[in-house]
């Protein structure tokens, strides 16, 4: 029996601990270290999911990692995940060839529920690969663009070469009336764009804090200062949502790896509101 078959033979298709077999149909390189995997189920229906949810992706013989779904909830096939190559499992996933089978568990976790912001201005604040978990929420809003006021996307990356989905962001600006503002931490000599941290964009961004919602995803240090800057502009904490990352193994609230005081990030999160998170955001993960 192949390693893949051995690891998926455990019975019970509905068991959340049993991975479903998916085949990689395409690996798209987005930046130097970031790749998008397109997946189709080997059998059965495509996975339906809500914006903000994640799956556990299993590289057979290597290990399993949580990765947010980066595709469009309205078009769940092929299933998309955008992955930064940082270690053993992510390396195995992004280096896999089309046709390779991997395991998928989930979807797990809470949603951005961006529809709660209908009738209001919407501010997406994101840094680096944080744009990937936010992309499904942005697509949800753009699918019903008329229901929202101003839509802003404030995006920061380390360097111009690290900008993710650059062409798509330009399309959102041109076709969907999204006010896209980008900044980079470091730029080569002669770079024409803005240099500085994404949180600096929040101070001057043109939205009405009395009627805006914000959705924030990125490194925790960036989310902490972004949420604080948004609150400083007058956004109430319950209208600021963040996606938390904690090391996790089971994805279903059993193993406790992702516990943050009374929360299990895998089931109570990853998307949580700032009212709930603010007192917890200084707790280091175990
Ligand atoms: C809910 C959730 C959603 C995620 N979504 C994405 C995504 O869409 N795209 C993506 O590229 N990554 C995402 N991650 C992070 C991803 O799970 C880790 O990068 C991955 O587990 C690293 O595994 P590895 O074996 O390749 O590297 P490891 O050798 O395990 O780790 C390499 C480095 O990454 C750090 N690291 C490991 N796990 C995490 C983590 N959970 N958060 C922050 N740093 C970590 C380690 O400390 C180490 O420095 C998500 C994590 C969570 C919890």
Identify the three-state secondary structure at position 118: coil
Q: Boundaries of CATH 2.40.30.10 in the chain?
A: 3-108
Residue 220 in tokens: 């925790």
pLDDT at 285: 52
CB atoms within 10 A of CB 247: 11
Atom of ligand 1 nearest to the CA of 92: 26
Given a cut of 60, whether residue 4 has pLDDT beyond it is: no
Atom of ligand 1 nearest to the CA of 63: 25
Residue with CA nearest ligand 1 atom 5: 67
Structural class in CATH, domain 114-280: alpha beta
Mean pLDDT on 48-52: 97
pLDDT tens-digit series, residues 227-247:
999 999 999 999 999 999 999
Atom of ligand 1 nearest to the CA of 258: 53
pLDDT tens-digit series, residues 126-183:
999 999 999 999 999 999 999 999 999 999 999 999 999 999 999 999 999 999 999 9
pLDDT at 61: 96
pLDDT tens-digit series, residues 69-126:
999 999 999 999 999 999 999 999 999 999 999 999 999 999 999 999 999 999 999 9
Bridge partners (DSSP) of residue 152 are 123, 179
Q: Boundaries of CATH 3.40.50.80 in the chain?
A: 114-280
Structural class in CATH, domain 3-108: mainly beta
* Beta strand extents in 30-100 (DSSP E only): 34-41, 54-59, 63-68, 79-84
Choice from 67, 219, 223 to test ligand 1 binding pocket (greatest atom count within 8 A of CB): 67
Q: Which H/E stretch holds residue 217?
A: strand 212-217
Average pLDDT, the chain: 93
């Amino acid at each position: 029996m192949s390693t893949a078959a051995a690891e998926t033979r455990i019975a019970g298709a509905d068991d959340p601990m049993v991975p479903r077999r998916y085949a990689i149909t395409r690996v798209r390189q987005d930046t130097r270290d970031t790749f998008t995997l397109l997946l189709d189920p080997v059998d059965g229906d495509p996975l339906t999911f809500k914006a903000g949810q994640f799956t556990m992706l299993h590289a057979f013989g290597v290990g399993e990692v949580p990765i947010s779904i980066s595709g469009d909830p309205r078009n769940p096939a092929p299933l998309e995940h955008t992955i930064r190559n940082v270690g053993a499992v992510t390396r195995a996933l992004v280096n896999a060839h089309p046709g390779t089978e991997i395991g998928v568990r989930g979807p797990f976790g809470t949603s951005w529920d961006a529809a709660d912001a209908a009738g209001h201005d919407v501010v997406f604040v994101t840094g680096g690969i944080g744009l990937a978990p936010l992309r499904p929420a942005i697509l949800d809003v753009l699918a019903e663009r008329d229901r929202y006021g101003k839509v802003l996307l404030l995006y920061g990356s380390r360097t111009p070469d690290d900008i993710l989905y650059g062409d798509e962001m330009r399309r959102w600006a041109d076709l969907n009336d999204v006010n896209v503002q980008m900044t980079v931490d470091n730029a080569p000599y002669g770079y024409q764009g803005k240099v500085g941290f994404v949180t600096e964009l929040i101070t001057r961004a043109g939205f009405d804090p009395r009627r805006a919602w914000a959705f924030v995803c990125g490194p925790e240090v960036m989310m902490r200062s972004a949420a604080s800057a948004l609150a400083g502009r007058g956004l109430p904490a319950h209208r600021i949502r963040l996606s938390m990352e904690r090391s996790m193994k089971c994805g279903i609230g059993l193993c406790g790896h992702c516990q943050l005081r009374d929360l299990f990030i895998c089931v109570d999160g990853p998307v949580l509101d700032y009212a709930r998170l603010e007192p917890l955001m200084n707790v280091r993960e175990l």
